[in-house]
Amino acid sequence: MQMHLQQGVARVQSYMEVVSRVVLAFVLALAGGAISAVAAISHRRLCDMISFAAGTLLGVTLFSLLPEISQNLAVPHVLIGLGSGYLVFMLISRYVFHVCPACAASHFDEATTHRFNEIASAMIIALGLHSTLDGIAVVLGEGPKMASGFELSLLVAICVHKVPEGLALCALLLAAGLPRGTALLWVAAVESTTLLGGAIGIWIAPQGIWLDMILAHVGGGFVFLAIHAVFGELSRHNSKRVYASFSAGILLIGALDLVLHHYLR
User: For residue 59, what pLDDT is reported?
Assistant: 94
pLDDT tens track of the chain, all 265 residues?
555 455 545 566 777 888 899 999 999 999 999 998 888 777 778 888 888 999 999 999 999 899 989 988 999 999 999 999 999 999 998 888 778 766 655 555 555 566 666 677 787 888 899 999 999 999 987 765 555 567 888 999 999 999 999 988 888 888 778 899 998 999 999 999 999 999 998 888 777 788 899 999 999 999 999 998 887 777 666 788 888 999 999 999 999 888 876 665 5
pTM: 0.86
Round to whole Å and give the CA distance between 244 and 90. Answer: 25
265 exposure class (CB count in 10 Å sphere: 0-12, 13-18, 19+): exposed
